[in-house]
Amino acid sequence: MAIIVQHIFSQERAILLGTGYGTFTGIMPSLWWGKVSPRVESGSLGVVSICDREGNIKWVRSIDVKVIEVDGKPVNEYAISKNTFSNELKSNCSACNMPLKLGISKCSHCHFEN
């Protein structure tokens, strides 16, 4: 049997093949001090591997899909908690409400650590 996922925005369904996790670091020289005081951004990105009806494999962000079926049975028929995790990824800064980049907890607008 398979795990079926649905894309949250497009409502397209696919088969979940596996998961992945990536981290990144980007270093840019600062405008005034160059390499002495570089701007550093780092973060992580959770992704899942899915395939469509033709077998085409794609990687999508894990926050963009939800599991709707496991082994032919809808997820809501399993005896699991409604809210499993309380430390979800935030999409907006707690201080200024500007969008956060995926996997980065420090706001690039107000520099607040979320």
**Mean pLDDT along residues 36-56:** 85
The predicted pLDDT at position 42 comes to 77
- CA nearest neighbour of 20 among 58, 56, 67: 58
Q: pLDDT tens for residues 4-34?
A: 999 999 999 999 999 987 777 777 777 776 6
- Rounded-to-5 percentages of helix, strand, coil across the chain: 5, 50, 45
The predicted pLDDT at position 28 comes to 78
Starting at the edge strand found earlier in the chain, the sheet holding 34-51 runs: 57-61, 34-51, 13-30, 3-7, 65-70, 73-74
Q: Which two tokens stand for residue 20?
A: 């992945």
Read off the pLDDT band of 114 (50, 70, 90).
Answer: confident
Query: Is a pLDDT exceeding 90 seen at residue 44?
Result: no
The predicted pLDDT at position 57 comes to 95
Reported pTM: 0.59
Helix/strand/coil for 76? helix
Q: pLDDT tens for residues 67-102?
A: 999 999 998 888 877 765 545 555 777 777 777 766
